[in-house]
Amino acid sequence: MCRFTGLFAAVALCGLFAPAASAAPPRSLDGLVRADQASLEALYAGGSVTVPSGFLPGRAIPSPGARNTMRRSNTIGLLWKGKVFSEGQMINRLAGGREAVTARVYVAESWLDGRPALILDYAGSRRFGDVRDEMREVAPGVYLGLTYVRKEPAPKLSMFFALDANGRN
């Protein structure tokens, strides 16, 4: 039995509170947009490669962890709505249901960690030929992606994005 005069000492030494559990990783698009870069990279590292089908609503994640990430994501969301996957190809869905900028879809090594990832390769596109996305499923139906720009001497990570095959945000 613990006998202390101070409430703090009683709580600390008698073990009335369990240690705080670590926060669960974000599993919604809004949660991913609010995460910092280190958290996103760790979540991505634990993801798996699956090929989605059909339209997946998306959110851009520019400058993860910055004060203005949510605002910038919402601004980008006025134009970019997500990605449509079909038979080894992907096309970006824009506002008003328009579709633009097709990419070839295949599995290859991630530029982040060298493990398998689903690659969305825009090579051959007039405006975005220097861009390559890669993504992994990080929760059932939730995909986390990275957008790279091909630069010399090495590709540059431009931003993250998230897609939800469950149709949620």
Query: Cα–Cα distance between 80 and 97 in angstroms, integer?
Result: 10
Please give the tally of structural domains in the chain: 1
Give the pLDDT of the chain (169 residues) as one tens digit per residue: 444 444 334 333 344 433 334 467 777 999 999 999 999 999 999 999 999 999 999 999 999 999 999 999 999 999 999 999 999 999 999 999 999 999 999 999 999 999 999 999 999 898 999 999 999 999 999 999 999 999 989 999 999 999 999 975 5
pTM: 0.84
Q: For the chain, give the longest Cα–Cα distance.
A: 75
Is 134 part of a structural domain of the chain?
yes
Is 33 part of a structural domain of the chain?
yes
Query: Cα–Cα distance between 30 and 19 in angstroms, integer?
Result: 27
Is 169 part of a structural domain of the chain?
no
Query: Cα–Cα distance between 82 and 84 in angstroms, integer?
Result: 7
CATH number at residue 58: 2.40.128.580
Peptide bond into 25 cis (omega under 30): no
Pick from 51, 168, 68, 23: nearest CA to 120: 51
* CB within 8 Å of 156: residues ≥ 6 apart: 148, 149
For 23, list phi and psi in degrees, rounded to 5: -65, 140
Is 110 part of a structural domain of the chain?
yes
- The answer to whether the beta carbons of residues 61 and 69 sit under 8 Å apart is yes
Is 86 part of a structural domain of the chain?
yes
Domain region containing 160: 27-164
Pick from 111, 131, 113: nearest CA to 121: 131
